[in-house]
Structure formats: structure tokens, C-alpha cells
Structure 1
Amino acid sequence: MPSYDYEKDPAAIYRQSFSIVRSEAQLSHLPDGLKPVAVRLIHACGMTDLPHDLMWSDDVVEAAQAAFAGGAAVLCDVEMVAHGIIRSRLPEDSDVICTLNDPQVPVLAEKLGTTRSAAAIELWRDRLDGAVVAVGNAPTALYHLLEMVAAGGPRPAVVLGFPVGFVGAAESKDALADNPFSLPYLAVSGRRGGSAMAAAAVNALAAGLPEER
């Protein structure tokens, strides 16, 4: 049987990973509050150039921290985002919610003439006010959220926009960055994104990098 020499201690792996990220990534242009968020985002995707593509509102860290301190729900567009969130890093009364598999969604999608991911956002209405929204997959979900707010719907406390892909992903994140509703946001421009990044953003904004402590 072959024998491999590799690090097995989880705490050491985290420390070394974050140290490598800091040595290779350019973080100096980021506000101090966003630097640990960027480190965790890079750790989730392995791309040290990611900070150059981050977009954010000046109040995103404060808005997210206030929301978490108040026990805000975390609303996720897909189950992969929800399962990537470290529940122990959230306040005990914070719920993590994904409505994509609700039986009402296919009917709503057909009625609205949109994707299931977008239709699932409709089921957030009674929890959306003051919530933390994490979109890691569907551009249509992010667009529909912005349309709901534009129509006078409930306002989330913060929107973490990381839809990924080739159709609408870049454009939906640009729309979030340009939103006229003063929604606090964090996003990555262009085609990159994904559930791992969206979950990583939640984890970092909720708890920083406790693995380094």
C-alpha cells in the first residue's frame, strides 16, 4: 500500500490555507471588514485573483453583521448554498431557508413564466424583510428579487450575489451593483460565482475566520 505524507490536522490545514491566500492575493484595496470575507471566498474557489472582481456597497459588512446579530433568516436560492453554511457560526435563532423544492414552486413558475429558481423567491415574501439573501446559482433568482423590491416588496438587509454561468449571470450582478434601492450588497463581477462562494460569504460575514483563532 502506498504511503503519503500530507497534513491531517484540520486546524493546521485552515491556518496554512489562509496564510497562503494572504501571501498570494492582493487584498490591500479592500476595506478591513471585507478582507476576511475575501480570504474565505478565495479559500472556497481557489482563485487568488478573485478580489479584483469583487463589488460591494460601503455598508455591506455593517448591514450583514447587524442582521446576524438580530437573528435574521438566511434565504438561499439553492440547497447547495444552504448546506454550505456553517450553522454553528450563526446565532441560534437564525434560520437557513431554501424554498426551491417547495411543491408550490413548479405551479408558480408556470404561472409567472419564469424559472423555478425565480418562482421560489416568491415564497420568501413573509421572511424577506431584514433577511440575509445568498444567491449562488440562478441569475433569474437575483433578477426576480430585484423586481420584487422595485415593486414595493419587502427589503432584505443584505444581498450576497454570486450567480454563476454564461446567460445572465454577469448582467444580474451588475444590476445588483447598480440597484437604486440602496440595498447593501456583495457580489463578484462576470461569469464567476457559485454556491460555494455564496455560502462562504455568509460564513465569513457571520463569524469572520474563527479557524485562525
Structure 2
Amino acid sequence: MSRPSRPSRPPRRYDYVDSGPAIYVDSFATIRREADLSAVPADAERLAVRMIHGSGQVDLAEDLVVHPRVVAAAREALEAGAPILCDATMVATGVTRSRLPRDNDVVCLLNDPRVADLARAWGTTRTAAAVSLWEPRLAGAVVAIGNAPTALFHLLEMVLAGAPRPAAIVGCPVGFIGAAESKLALVDLAAEHGVDIPYVTVRGRRGGSAMTSSALNALAQEAE
């Protein structure tokens, strides 16, 4: 069997940086130059930089809400081998496995065969229904919600109903319906219900899988 031919590079017509390491270094330097990180806790600066990198929006720093213990709590949990529970496959796929300190499980149960029936029975989204299946692994886990506001609302309702508490929540669902409200509920959880779970979120409609997995990668390892 003949070996496939090696492709040739097309003639270069544009002036751009094409070194992967250089792109990372220049990107993070640009973020630090352009973003106002003064309101971010000192140990969360790299978390903020990664989230801005994942969104391409330096003004994201203005809307970040970072619990003072989220970096320490998430990192301690991951160092102890805790799983990462994700609402969406895209969030799970975006986790850089080499950054995980204990080869931690990265779990998304959206395609579990039980989900569709639960969603129909409860009249909710499949993503929210899948969150209920996290309960056996929820205690001390790191939760990452970057897609569905209903998933974040459902998680908070579970916790308020007595479900085990995760070690930390990355709560950045994106969207026009319920996204801002679900994140506000997360921010207000301790003040309104006395449940203090470390978290990071972003006010308003912005969020998404890339931003959420970027946050996870920062929490998993201090190195930028």
C-alpha cells in the first residue's frame, strides 16, 4: 500500500503569527495590557485571563464575579481526585486533560438513556434532567455549566432540596432566556439561602462552552 502524499504548504500571502506558543504568549500579554483586572482577586487573575482568552472579550473582566475561595476550593478538590461534572459535551471536550492533576474524570451525562424520559416527565430541558443524574458524584465535585440556564437553576434547586454540595461551581450559561437570571441566583445563593458554595460566573447573557472550559483549565493548574 502506497503512503499518502505529504501536503505542501500554499504560498504565504498574509503576515500573521503562526507559532502556537508565540500566539499564547502574545494573547495573554495583550489581555493583561488591555483588560482591567484590578477587581479580580489576586489568586484568580489567571482564571480571569483564561476566561477572557476563551471569549475574546477584554471587557469580560467588568462582569466577572469571582468568589474569594473558588480557586483554592476547586484546585484542592481536583488535587484530591474530584470529578468535573459538565452540562454540555462541548464543555467536557474543551478540558485540556494534561492539565488535570489526578487524571480526573470529566463527566457529561446528557446522552444518558434516562435523560429523555426524565425531561418529558418533568417538563424541562434534557440538560436540566441530566444534572439530576450527577447526584451520586456531586459531593465535592467541580461543576461546570456553560450551556443551559435551566441546568444551573436545576442544580441550585437540588442543593436547596438537600442534595450533596459540590466543591465549586463554574456557572457561565449563555443565552437570552434565563441566563442572566440563573447566574444572579448563583451569586445570591449564600445571601438568600445561607448556602455558600465557591463559584465563578459572569453577569448578563454572556457565557458559553469555550469560556467555561477555559475557566476549568485555569482552575486545574496554576501554570498559564
Q: Quickly name the TM-score band, shorter chain normalised.
A: over 0.9
Is the counterpart of residue 188 in structure 1 residue 202 in structure 2? yes
Equivalent residue runs for 1:91-130 within 5 Å: 91-130=101-140
- Structure 1 residue 208: deviation in Å? 2.9
What amino acid is the match of 1:206? A
What amino acid is the match of 1:199? S
- Structure 1 residue 36: deviation in Å? 0.5
Match of 1:50 in 2: 60
Q: In the aligned structure 1, how far is the partner of 2:103 from the partner of 2:53?
A: 27
Equivalent residue runs for 1:21-32 within 5 Å: 21-32=31-42
Cα 1:93–1:16 change in 2 (3 A) is: closer
The superposition leaves residues 57-95 of structure 1 with CA deviations (integer Å, 9 ceiling, x where unpaired) of 221111111111111100000000000010110023410
Match of 1:170 in 2: 180
CA contact under 8 A between 1:44 and 1:196: conserved in structure 2?
A: yes
CA contact under 8 A between 1:72 and 1:131: conserved in structure 2?
A: yes
The superposition leaves residues 133-191 of structure 1 with CA deviations (integer Å, 9 ceiling, x where unpaired) of 00001000000000100010111000100001110000000000011311111000000
Does the residue aligned with 2:219 lie in a helix, a strand or coil? helix
Calculate the aligned-residue CA RMSD, in Å. Answer: 1.1
Match of 1:197 in 2: 211
- Structure 1 residue 193: deviation in Å? 0.4
Does the residue aligned with 1:49 lie in a helix, a strand or coil? helix
- Structure 1 residue 209: deviation in Å? 4.0
What amino acid is the match of 2:169? V
Cα 1:175–1:78 change in 2 (3 A) is: same
Cα 1:2–1:86 change in 2 (3 A) is: closer
CA contact under 8 A between 2:145 and 2:212: conserved in structure 1?
A: yes
What amino acid is the match of 2:120? E
Q: In the aligned structure 2, how far is the partner of 1:143 from the partner of 1:14?
A: 35
Gapped regions of structure 1 (runs ≥ 5): none
The superposition leaves residues 97-128 of structure 1 with CA deviations (integer Å, 9 ceiling, x where unpaired) of 00001111000111122110100001101111
Is the counterpart of residue 39 in structure 1 residue 39 in structure 2? no
Q: In the aligned structure 2, how far is the partner of 1:24 from the partner of 1:63?
A: 29
Q: In the aligned structure 1, how far is the partner of 2:40 from the partner of 2:145?
A: 22
Could you tell me the percent identity over the aligned residues?
57
Gapped regions of structure 2 (runs ≥ 5): 1-10
Number of matched pairs = 210
Runs of at least 4 residues of structure 1 off by over 3 A? Answer: none
CA contact under 8 A between 2:40 and 2:66: conserved in structure 1?
A: no
What amino acid is the match of 1:42? I
What amino acid is the match of 1:183? I
CA contact under 8 A between 1:40 and 1:209: conserved in structure 2?
A: no
Is the counterpart of residue 152 in structure 1 residue 162 in structure 2? yes
CA contact under 8 A between 2:101 and 2:221: conserved in structure 1?
A: no
- Structure 1 residue 9: deviation in Å? 1.3
Which residue, 140, 149, 152 being the options, matches 1:139?
149
Does the residue aligned with 1:192 lie in a helix, a strand or coil? coil
Does the residue aligned with 1:133 lie in a helix, a strand or coil? strand
Does the residue aligned with 2:137 lie in a helix, a strand or coil? coil
